[in-house]
Amino acid sequence: SQTTTNTVDTTVFTVTTSGVANGTYSYSNEPQLAVVFGGPKSTSGFSDLGGGDSLITLGLWSADDPSNCQPNPSQLTAGQVSCNNQVGSVTVQGGTLMHELGHTLALTHGGTYYTNSSDPSLPSYGLNCKANFLSVMNYLFQIRGFPDGGFDYSSQIFASLDEKGLSESAGIGSDSLGKLAAHFTRWYAPPNAIDLKLASTGAGPFATTHCDGTPITDGAQMVRVDGTTYSSPIDWNHDGTIEIGTISPQDVNFNGVIGDPAFQGFNDWQRVNLTQIGARRNVGGYSGDVSGADIFGGGADIFGGGADIFGGGADIFGGGADIFGGGADVFGGGAEVDFTLANSTVDPPAGLTCTNCVLSSGTFVESNKSVSLAWTPPGFGQIRTYYVWRAVGNFPTQSSIIANINSFSNIGTVKGSPPVASFTDSSVKKNTTYTYFVTDANLQNVQSGPSAPVTVTVH
């Protein structure tokens, strides 16, 4: 019998063994023997790269559910919505399921490349959060989907993208077949004049972690930007204009490094590996399993089970302290997206409109002494505050708002758990044109960028 003492809580575990010499076992002489408890984590999922297990783990993903939400989507009735608290929304579930399934099909967070001429079988791994990798495997798109909607694995290979030579007129360019990007992309940029103005509320619009989940240690302030065009142009530096030529180097994938090696494109669908469908993967990518004192199957197994270096235990290819799929991941990209990372940026409200106005020749007109605004909350995050911004004048585009941002002021703050998505401005004057936009801030006190503006003329 072997007696193990847990030095933390002094619990004594006695394990009856056969054929094992008495002795003291520790991590130094038996690294696979351990009793650990890491506590619950808010990681979205976990998968073995190249086949094996997949988990969707959204149990700590909080959401604000309405009182009449239906926990069983199959029993939804008219007027009900599905409950999202502790299970994730349909969008979050769908993106995470597709992302984790991709790992079992040998897909990684930035693409897998075999470019070593001296050892063609040696893989290298692309960086996460590349704007020219339009894939649900990319953290930019796992939780929210593409800016224009939907999820997909990458089906296009774009030319390499150099953080030191970004061209706004070229954007990410056409793919290897000369086709435009199938979706809008996303990236990180320095704050513009609007972002700096928003920060005056005390809720910063700046990302609270790097895009790959690593902590920000240098005080960097960057904002996430959603694209509005296919391929080009792309306003990389987020200043409201499209410059000619290259712009200053920029950490577009926001990993804390400006000037990474050029981001290579990658086509997921061409590299999906179906070898391990229906079978646990092993070092050779085969599904054979032999028991006994076998080096490929069981027993004191180095590739399948037991003191396993490729299958279980302290697994370096599948689970545990995983270097290729999840966990403390160094080749597939950071630890899998967790609740903190997902909320490190927040989406703006949508559909801002004037509810007591008359639409005349494409312009809202109001003849009363108030302007009633309403909008749609973002689809993800626990929103706690809305900020209503107003300026005198007609500023229908982002570039015009940037140029006139000092004319805007925060005229209203709506708070709640969650707050109502409406506001009435009772301080308007006749024969005056106003431009409004709305931002929101989540429970983590991260503020979004502005909604699309709405212009109202009061008669």
Whether the Cβ atoms of residue 238 and residue 189 lie closer than 8 Å to each other:
yes
Q: What is the pLDDT of residue 35?
A: 66
Tens digits of per-residue pLDDT, 5-61? 444 444 555 667 778 777 777 767 777 766 666 678 899 998 888 887 888 999 999
Q: What is the mean pLDDT of residues 107-115?
A: 95
Q: What is the DSSP letter of 167?
A: B
The pLDDT of residue 319 is above 70:
no
Compute the distance between CA of residue 335 and CA of residue 314 in angstroms, rounded to an integer: 16
Residue of higher predicted confidence among 320 and 429: 429
| Per-residue pLDDT band at 137 (split at 50, 70, 90) | very high
Under the phi-then-psi rule, with left for phi > 0, alpha for psi from -120 to 50, and beta for the rest, what region is 417? Answer: beta
Whether the Cβ atoms of residue 7 and residue 35 lie closer than 8 Å to each other:
no
Burial per residue of 81-109, b for 16 or more beta-carbon CB atoms within 10 angstroms, e otherwise: ebbbeebbbebbbbbbbbbbbbbbbbbbb
The pLDDT of residue 119 is above 80:
yes
The pLDDT of residue 67 is above 80:
yes
The enclosing H or E element of 386 equals: strand 383-392
Share of the chain above pLDDT 70, in %: 82
Q: What is the mean pLDDT of residues 221-234?
A: 97
- Report, in angstroms and rounded to the nearest whole number, the Rg of the chain calculated over CA atoms: 26
The pLDDT of residue 4 is above 90:
no
Q: Out of 76-80, 126-130, 143-147, 446-450, pick the least confident.
A: 76-80
* SS3 labels along 296-320: CCCCCCCCCCCCCCCCCCCCCCCCC
Compute the distance between CA of residue 160 and CA of residue 131 in angstroms, rounded to an integer: 10
> At a CB cut-off of 8 Å and minimum separation 6, what does 69 contact?
80, 81, 82, 83, 84
Compute the distance between CA of residue 375 and CA of residue 450 in angstroms, rounded to an integer: 12
Assign 406 to helix, strand or coil.
helix
Query: Exposed, middle or buried by CB within 10 Å (0-12, 13-18, 19+), for 362?
Result: exposed
DSSP E strands in 103-259: the ranges are 112-113, 124-125, 186-189, 223-226
Query: Exposed, middle or buried by CB within 10 Å (0-12, 13-18, 19+), for 315?
Result: buried
| Pair of tokens at residue 377 | 């909350």
The enclosing H or E element of 398 equals: helix 398-403
pTM of the model: 0.82
Burial per residue of 28-67, b for 16 or more beta-carbon CB atoms within 10 angstroms, e otherwise: eeeeeeeeeeeeeebbbbbbbbbbbbbebbbeebebbbee
Q: Out of 240-249, 303-312, 399-408, pick the least confident.
A: 303-312
Planar angle of CA 88, 93, 94, nearest 5 degrees: 150
Tens digits of per-residue pLDDT, 85-104? 999 999 999 999 999 999 99
Q: What is the pLDDT of residue 399?
A: 93
CB atoms within 10 A of CB 443: 16
Residue of higher predicted confidence among 325 and 9: 9
Q: Using DSSP, how many helices (H) and how many strands (E) does the chain show?
A: 6, 17
| Pair of tokens at residue 274 | 């179906």
Is beta strand 363-366 parallel, antiparallel or unpaired with respect to 223-226? unpaired
